[in-house]
Amino acid sequence: MMTSLLGRLVVILTLLTLSAAALLMFFVGRSERMHTDQVQQALHRELAANMVADNPLLSEGEVAKSSLGNAFHSLMLLGPAFEIYATDTTGKIRAYSGELGLVKQSEIELAPVHQFLVGADLPLYGTDPRNPARRQVFSAAAIKDATGVLRGYLYVIVGGSKQSELESISAGKLRQDQALLFTVGALFLALLASGLMFGLLTRPLAALSRAMQAFRQGGLGRSAIGRHLPGWTSREVLELQGSFVALADTVVDQMDQIRSAEASRRELLDQIAHDLKTPLASLQGYLETWLLHHPEAQDRQHIEIALRNGRVLHRLVEQLLELARLDAGQETLTLEPVVVAELAHDIMAKFALDAQQRGVLLSVNAPVPNLRVAADIAKLERVLANLVDNALRHTPAGGEVRLSILESSEGVLIELRDNGVGIASNNLSRIFEPRYHSDSAAGDHSTHLGLGLAIVQRLLKLHGSQIEVESGAGQGTTFHFNLACA
């Protein structure tokens, strides 16, 4: 999933959501604390003033520790949630409640006290003498003598150190519960939002990807170009789609030009072959007639050479015509039951004289001689003839060409094997290309266009079969294919 754009976006959104949840927890906790402090300070706003008014020593302006010890002890009956300090006019602590050694700072900041006394908005945070690193809400009142002269301040921490410790423990547990709740909620919202939002965002990209695949699988046709994208399309996606459409249109135009040029080439080739076929047939007929009427002529050898070359040229023209028809899809099949062993013996008899002159042995291996296949007999004969002819030209004297007809799970297996010069492994993928010529022909110097195997492959494709080859340099060659039983 991490390799897809959607997966990466989900992870990014989850991390962002968790970060946002953490920040939200921080600010919510801070807001709750400020609200609690505001309520506490508001409830105890007059606490210090009431303490000063109710205590005779404080009301007379006394701030000395020796004088206020008993008074502070009585005030501590309020509980550990309050810490009481008496300061002079400069903020130095002169007396305080609690045990010795607990106070870490000997003076308090007076600015918050002055703001408190003039009625500033709450909450106000002042010095915590027991923990200088912490700020606490407080209540404060001026301590004046009988003449009204300011002698100091009564400074009461609302929520002392013990309460703060208990609140910290409780707040820690609360934060854990809140963190778990926020994490679960954030993950759920992240997955839900990512599924909806990123599904909408990536929908056009997925559609564009499908359009590209359809264009490739659809033969690079113009109708397969995806020109409209669903979903929320951004500027970048639209630019990407526009580039793809422009590229696809260019490819289609070039493919149309190539197809048009190929069609023109095939048409021209077909016309040339047709134009050559008739005069070649006439020339061949006149040469054969001359040889029949002049059996003892001294220059008979020259006419025989001309006739032989005419026949070769006629065969090449026939191959060109046949390949052009196959490429144009003009060939059709007339299927009928064919006894393959009989056809194989006929083919071998046709090439017997040529094989004898080359010193090559021809043989047919048909353990079940009456195997029948559904095939066009003329085209199957052409396939076998081309394969045998190709094998003879690449098998040296003393070699063997064997045609086997065997039963197989796919019908009937037809296999042609020779022990000739073989085909190099780097050429195996090219032997079925038109006009491919092998350099390994065994002493064969006749003219060939390299169309025989290309015609074989196309004729078998018409039959719904695929020819395969196994070979190696100096190891002989085996062609085999399957045909359906009749």
pLDDT of residue 260: 83
- Looking up tokens 């965002």 gives 201
HSE (side-chain half, CA atoms, 13 Å) at 118: 6
As a whole number of angstroms, the distance between CA 398 and CA 360 comes to 5
- The total of other beta-carbon atoms located within 10 Å of residue 199's CB is 14
Instruction: Output the 3-class SS for the chain.
Output: CCCCHHHHHHHHHHHHHHHHHHHHHHHHHHHHHHHHHHHHHHHCCCHHHHHHHHCHHHHCCCCCHHHHHHHHHHHHHHCCCEEEEEECCCCEEEEECCCCCCCCCCECCHHHHHHHHCCCCCCCEEECCCCCCCEEEEEEEEEECCCCCEEEEEEEEECCHHHHHHHHHHHHHHHHHHHHHHHHHHHHHHHHHHHHHHHHHHHHHHHHHHHHHHHHHCCCCHHHCCCCCCCCCCHHHHHHHHHHHHHHHHHHHHHHHHHHHHHHHHHHHHHHHHHHHHHHHHHHHHHHHHHHHCCCCCCHHHHHHHHHHHHHHHHHHHHHHHHHHHHCCCCCCCCEEEEHHHHHHHHHHHCHHHHHHHCCEEEEECCCCCCEEEECHHHHHHHHHHHHHHHHHCCCCCCEEEEEEEEECCEEEEEEEECCCCCCHHHHHHCCCCCCCCCCCCCCCCCCCCCHHHHHHHHHHHCCCCCEEEECCCCCEEEEEEECEC
Q: pLDDT of 352-361, one tens digit each?
A: 999 999 999 9
Contact 156, 48 (CB under 8 A): yes
pTM of the model: 0.47
Query: Do the domains 234-330 and 44-159 match in fold?
Result: no
CA 201 to chain centre: 17
- Place 234 in a pLDDT band, splitting at 50, 70 and 90: low
Pick the residue with more confidence: 416 or 295? 416
Residue 1: pLDDT band (50, 70, 90) is very low
- Every domain of the chain and the residues it spans: 44-159, 234-330, 336-483
Q: In CATH, what number does 44-159 get?
A: 3.30.450.20
**Residues belonging to the chain:** 486
pLDDT-based confidence at residue 168 (cuts at 50, 70, 90) = low
Q: Percentage of the chain with pLDDT > 90?
A: 23
pLDDT digits 0-9 by tens, 42-58: 888 888 888 888 777 77
Q: Which residues sit opposite 338 in a β-bridge?
A: 373
pLDDT tens-digit series, residues 58-99? 767 676 665 555 556 555 555 566 888 889 989 898 888 766
Residue 359: predicted pLDDT: 94
**pLDDT score at 279:** 82
Q: Which of 100-104, 201-205, 279-283 has the lowest mean pLDDT?
A: 201-205
CATH of domain 234-330: 1.10.287.130
Are 326 and 457 contacting, i.e. CB atoms less than 8 angstroms apart? no
Buried b (16+ CB within 10 A) or exposed e, 240-249: bbeebbeebe
Can you give the pLDDT at residue 75?
Answer: 53
**Dist CA 420 CA 400 (whole Å):** 8
336-483: CATH topology: Heat Shock Protein 90 (3.30.565)
Least confident window among 106-120, 171-185, 321-335, 428-442 = 171-185
Contact 418, 477 (CB under 8 A): yes
